[in-house]
Amino acid sequence: MNIEQLIKMANQIGEFFFAYPDAEQAKLDIVSHIKRFWALSMRKQIVEYVTEEQGTALQPLVVDAIKENVAVLA
């Protein structure tokens, strides 16, 4: 899948969980959602994007969630 589509999807997930009052729980739920519903190849692409490009087009909450939970997404 192209990275632009993955970015769009990740940001949509982030928008949903952004409303959570607990940011730490929101980050865990973002990662949990990605882990459950994305193929391994998609997860590897988004982790690579965050690692190499600093996730510039992603919402900060999504970037933090991915950076803090790389091992979970592998």
User: Is 74's pLDDT higher than 90?
Assistant: no
- Taking CA 58 as the corner, what is the angle to CA 65 and CA 40, rounded to the nearest 5 degrees? 60
In a domain, 19, yes or no: yes
In a domain, 38, yes or no: yes
Number of domains the chain is built from: 1
In a domain, 1, yes or no: no
In this prediction, residues 11-25 reach a mean pLDDT of: 96
In a domain, 55, yes or no: yes
What type of residue is 54?
Answer: Q
Share the mean pLDDT of the chain: 97
- Residue 35: give the domain boundaries: 9-73
User: pLDDT tens across 31-41, in order?
Assistant: 999 999 999 99
Backbone φ/ψ region at 54: left (φ over 0), alpha (ψ -120 to 50), beta:
left
Using only the alpha carbons of the chain, give its radius of gyration.
11
User: pLDDT tens across 33-65, in order?
Assistant: 999 999 999 999 999 999 999 999 999 999 999
- Contact of 50 with 67, CB cutoff 8 Å: yes
